């Protein structure tokens, strides 16, 4: 039986995330068993960002990674979070007002990752956490991320991957394909398409060397993979040559 290709058209994805935005954070923490916070923390530790040089977080959603970067690097560092869903950004801005000290150099901008409103060679690092798979044209998004990164700077992709260890693979697939959509729908109390889309998008998105090769094709060198939580997610980091 043929697998139905997931619909990642911009209008559909934007509308879907706008619908679930009010419950997005609570659902994510519940469905990931709160491990998503550790994944972002480890990403920051591995990147070793330099205070004073700007950082961009694309597909920022409700801003968790951008907020963490801003807190880590302080007001001397410009941090920008972009997303094409204004409803998600509205929540990010509320969180910023509540959790980030006054005087921080963090701003959120509505923008499509496939057409970023920044000059070439601007940022020391461009990050994306659990958002690249939602970009309708993955290669176009990656090339834009590389374009706005400084020479010698980093592009970092934190994304779900597919564990291969016997036993864990079956548990993972059962959770993602059977449990998550039902639990997500029960908690969200809205159109079930959002939590059907999530496992479909993960299953169909390239991971491991397949994604690393796309990053190389986009212009990155020395692409390194760091699996986390037994391969449930992977951090990919490449350097702009």
Higher pLDDT, 170 or 209: 209
Q: Is residue 80 part of a domain?
A: yes
Q: Is residue 4 part of a domain?
A: no
Arithmetic mean of pLDDT, 115-124: 98
Q: What is the CATH number of the domain that holds 122?
A: 3.40.50.150
Question: Partners of 30 in the beta sheet?
Answer: none
Q: Two tokens at 126?
A: 């461009």
pTM score, two decimals? 0.92
Distance CA 188, CA 209 (A): 34
State the sign of the Cα–Cα–Cα–Cα dihedral 120, 126, 132, 134.
negative
Split into its structural domains, the chain has a count of: 1
Contact 218, 157 (CB under 8 A): no
Arithmetic mean of pLDDT, 177-200: 68
Higher pLDDT, 74 or 7: 74
**Least reliable range by pLDDT among 51-60, 162-171, 177-186:** 177-186
Q: Is residue 66 part of a domain?
A: yes
Percent of the chain having pLDDT more than 70?
A: 92
Q: Is residue 90 part of a domain?
A: yes
Predicted local distance difference test score (pLDDT) of residue 2? 38
Tell me which residue range forms the domain holding 86.
10-240
Distance CA 78, CA 11 (A): 30
- pLDDT band at residue 186 under the 50/70/90 scheme: low
Q: Is residue 207 part of a domain?
A: yes
Contact 185, 192 (CB under 8 A): yes
DSSP class of 50: P
Predicted local distance difference test score (pLDDT) of residue 1? 37
Q: Is residue 70 part of a domain?
A: yes
| Closest C-alpha among 225, 230, 202, 61 to residue 156 | 225
Q: Is residue 140 part of a domain?
A: yes
Higher pLDDT, 23 or 67: 67
Arithmetic mean of pLDDT, 85-112: 94
Q: Is residue 218 part of a domain?
A: yes
Distance CA 202, CA 182 (A): 16
Arithmetic mean of pLDDT, 85-98: 96
Predicted local distance difference test score (pLDDT) of residue 6? 72
């Amino acid at each position: 039986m043929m697998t139905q290709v997931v619909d990642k058209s911009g209008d559909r994805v934007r509308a879907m995330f706008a619908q679930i935005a009010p419950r997005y954070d609570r659902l994510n923490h519940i469905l990931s068993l709160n491990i998503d916070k550790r994944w972002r923390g480890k990403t920051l530790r591995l990147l070793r960002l330099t205070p004073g040089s700007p950082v961009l977080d694309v597909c920022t959603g409700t801003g968790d990674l951008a907020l963490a970067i801003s807190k880590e690097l302080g007001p001397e560092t410009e941090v920008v979070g972009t997303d094409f869903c204004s409803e998600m950004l509205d929540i990010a801005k509320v969180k910023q007002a509540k959790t980030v000290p006054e005087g921080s150099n963090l701003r959120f901008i509505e923008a499509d990752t496939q057409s970023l409103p920044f000059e070439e060679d601007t940022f020391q690092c461009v990050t994306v956490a659990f958002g690249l798979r939602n970009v309708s044209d993955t290669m176009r998004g990656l090339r834009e991320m590389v374009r706005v990164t400084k020479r010698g700077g980093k592009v970092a992709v934190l994304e779900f991957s597919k564990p291969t260890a016997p036993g864990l693979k079956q548990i993972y697939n059962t959770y993602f394909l059977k449990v998550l959509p039902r639990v997500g729908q029960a908690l969200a109390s809205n159109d079930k398409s959002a939590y059907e889309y999530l496992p479909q998008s993960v299953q169909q998105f390239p991971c491991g060397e397949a994604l690393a090769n796309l990053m190389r094709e986009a212009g990155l060198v020395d692409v390194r993979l760091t699996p986390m939580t037994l391969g449930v997610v992977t951090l990919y980091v490449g350097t702009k040559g």
